[in-house]
Chain A
Amino acid sequence: MPESGESPGLLRSIALPHTPSRSPRAVTYEQGPATMTFAATKGHFFASATWVMALAGAFAVASMAPARAAPVASVEPEQSDVAQLTPPQPSWFFINRGFTENSSAIYDTVTGKLLGHVETPQLTDLALDPAGKFYYVSSTLWTKASRGTRQDYVSVFDSVDLKLQADIPMPGRLLVGGRLNNFVISPDGKFGYVYNMSPASSVNVIDLVARKFVKTVELPGCASMVAVPGVGVSALCSDGSLATLTLSGAKSQITRSEPFFSATDDPIFDNFQVDRAKNQIVMLSYTGKIYTATLGAKPVISAPFSLQEAAGVPAGSAAPNQVNWYPGGVQQMALHRATGQLYVLMHMGEFWSHKAGANEVWQLDLASHKVVKRMTVPGEPRMIAVTQEAAPHLVFAGEDETVYVYDLATGKQAWKLDHAGNGVITVAQAQ
């Protein structure tokens, strides 16, 4: 209901609460070209205090409007404008604001300032153009909100003014949020790969230069992708292998590594990390096994080692009732590429507690297989990222949407950002 201070224009859209019956009367007033007529029964009309106030306000404004000229401002009027951003910087992070907000907020870890928002509605995936010119968002929307005709598309936003450049339609995508590897970009920035279910699991290939959907290629029994330069994509599969989908030739082809993990007994978290310089991915299993794979037409997978043993505690086990430190959360780990340091969210629990928030972050040196630092962290974080600067910041968030930014040089909290979000955290140079 309108309050007295609101514009009388609002009244135009409000239907009268009662239809006239006895001794109707009409109230007419003018404001500009619009003419409004109210008809109401006396008793009914004045029964609503809000209506009385609204009407009084309306009359006051209406009677004043034609009589007085606008007062002259004593200072120069402010010209509103829209700030422009630089392309994404190494100190920035993007956090999906969660299930109810339609955006990913951009923050600078150096200043702690909010810089802007990229539109990322529910169950969308954000990916950064490696050249920093665009933000890509893989989206799905129905014509009638949750029903009607389904539309799947990749939106292209300019990174400087955040304006929409294009929507690239495609046949479909898997509707799962909170995942890093369902929408990936080739390192040369030319192709986007969107994980799809048609309902067989498949990959939509998008030409980002021509801004056109190219084709859907089936990738049965696999999910969670990484772009492989000059080849196509690799993905984790239900038989415990890493499949490589070759898209460079005329006919696409799938090859598989030997199975190296058990998707049933000790699954690998889908949010694995990618190191472009080393052309590697770093993977983590539910029990805490660390695997690396060097990418290519024939990926080479390392023998795993135990994250817990690297910290001098017993290795994690898939057996029930074995309380130990386990990795957990949604985005469980973050890799600082230049130094080969892996930051993992850890909690005390037992096997299958892999979604639990963390009490500690363990810093693993990948070269020496040693946990070099254990940090106690607040907020039971389930999401973690690390900026790729020489002096990196650790960024983590728990269920309550508080985001903590830690300066890794000092190990101290640099910023605590309230209501910032609890979804996927993306950093520049991550792909």
Chain B
Amino acid sequence: MMRIARLSLLAATALFSAGLATRLSAAHDGAAAAPAQHVMEDPNQARVDYIENCGGCHGVNGSTVPAQLPELMGRVGWFMCTPDSRAYLLRLPNVAHSRIHDNAELADLMNYVVFVLGGNSVPAGTRPFTAEEVGRERQHALSNASLTAERLRHATAAVKQCHAPQSIKLLYPGYNPATAH
């Protein structure tokens, strides 16, 4: 298991290193996403934080099919498509109200989720989360909204604006509530 985790981490790192590694830009201008090792101040701490705070439900590698959970692996990056949808990731109550008070540490964790677990799904040219952005958005937790409806809205935007696959609207490709666990 450790080996697989390490391999996939290496794979993700290699993937990002291969592209236009150093170009970080606000617009989706065709540049590759930021390389994984450049988006976290402390990648090891970020992975530890992910496993401790998120992995229990989302899986140590972000994969939980066929559980009734949004599959993160290779998909969560699409939510970086619009300013609204990237804010959504930070405004999820379990992120906004995380027991990680340090905004820079939480930014690292979320960059791990997006850039490492999200892998290829991160739109080209995506800026990583900053401590300042995390500190701002976590003040506005989605505590009086339908998270299911919010997710669908942002997934639909990602399909339209960033050419995400239609399946991003589902919890995982091929999701069927009748057979999910």
Contact = CB atoms under 8 A, between A and B. Distances in A.
Interface of A: 142, 147, 149-150, 172, 197-200, 218, 220-222, 237-239, 243, 253-256, 263-264
B181 A239 contact: no
Given A198-B68, A220-B147, A254-B143, A238 B181 contact: no
Contacts of B171: 199
Interface of B: 57, 68-70, 93-94, 96-97, 99, 101, 141-148, 171, 178-181
Given A218-B147, A221-B141, A238 B68 contact: no
Contact of A238 (B70, B94, B144, B145): B94
Nearest to B145: A220
A198 B181 contact: no
A141 to B, nearest CB: 12
B68 A221 contact: no
Contact of A221 (B69, B94, B180, B181): B94
Contact of A199 (B69, B96, B142, B143): B69
B147 to A, nearest CB: 4
A254 B141 CA distance: 13
A147 B180 CA distance: 10
B99 A264 contact: yes
Q: Which of B70, B93, B94, B145 has the most CB of A within 10 A?
A: B93
A239 B143 contact: yes
Nearest to B180: A150
B143 to A, nearest CB: 5
Given A220-B93, A239-B93, A263-B97, 17 more contacts: A149-B179, A200-B146, A218-B147, A218-B148, A220-B141, A220-B143, A221-B96, A221-B141, A238-B94, A238-B97, A239-B97, A239-B141, A239-B143, A253-B144, A254-B143, A255-B144, A264-B99
B178 A238 contact: no
A199 B70 contact: yes
Contacts of A149: 178-179
A341 B97 CA distance: 34
B161 to A, nearest CB: 24
Contacts of A263: 97, 99
Nearest to A218: B146
A200 B101 contact: no
Contacts of B142: 220-221
A36 B108 CA distance: 72
Contact of B147 (A142, A200, A254, A256): A200
A150 B57 CA distance: 18
Contacts of A253: 144
Ranked nearest first, the 10 interchain pairs of A and B with the lowest CB-CB distance are A221-B93, A200-B147, A238-B97, A264-B99, A254-B144, A218-B146, A220-B93, A199-B69, A221-B143, A239-B97
Contact of A237 (B101, B143, B145): B143
Contacts of A254: 143-144
Nearest to A243: B143
Nearest to B144: A254
A218 B141 CA distance: 14
Nearest to B171: A199
Contact of B181 (A150, A197, A243): A150
A403 B179 CA distance: 41
Nearest to B146: A218
A250 B68 CA distance: 29
B68 A172 contact: yes
Given A172-B68, A221-B93, A200 B143 contact: no
Contacts of A197: 68
Nearest to B99: A264
Contact of A264 (B70, B93, B101, B143): B101
